[in-house]
């Protein structure tokens, strides 16, 4: 589970909006630094910049 450090507004159809302070499940880490994941709040999925999130210690 990852925590969004910053808000991110999608630029393309396959991107996921990030909301600061919300939790996301990361499904895949892409080589270009983007992550593929799902919002735990909305259930929506998409890609987003990996440097906008940080891993939560379980």
pLDDT, residue 58, reads: 67
pLDDT in tens, 1-58: 999 999 999 999 999 999 999 999 999 999 999 999 999 999 999 999 999 999 997 6
Residue 30 to residues 12, 26, 36, 53, 58: CA-CA distances in angstroms?
A: 17, 11, 7, 14, 23
What is residue 47's three-state secondary structure?
Answer: strand
> Which pLDDT value is given to residue 46?
98
Triad 14, 17, 18: Cα angle to 5°:
135
> CA torsion angle for 6, 12, 15, 19 (degrees, to 10)?
30
Tell me, what's the pLDDT at 57? 76
User: What are the boundaries of each domain within the chain?
Assistant: 2-55
Architecture per CATH, 2-55: Roll (2.30)
């Amino acid at each position: 589970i990852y925590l969004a450090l910053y808000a991110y507004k999608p630029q393309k159809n396959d991107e996921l909006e990030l909301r600061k302070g919300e939790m996301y499940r990361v499904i895949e880490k892409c080589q270009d630094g983007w992550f593929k994941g799902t919002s735990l709040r909305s259930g929506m999925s998409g890609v987003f910049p990996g440097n906008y999130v940080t891993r939560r210690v379980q």
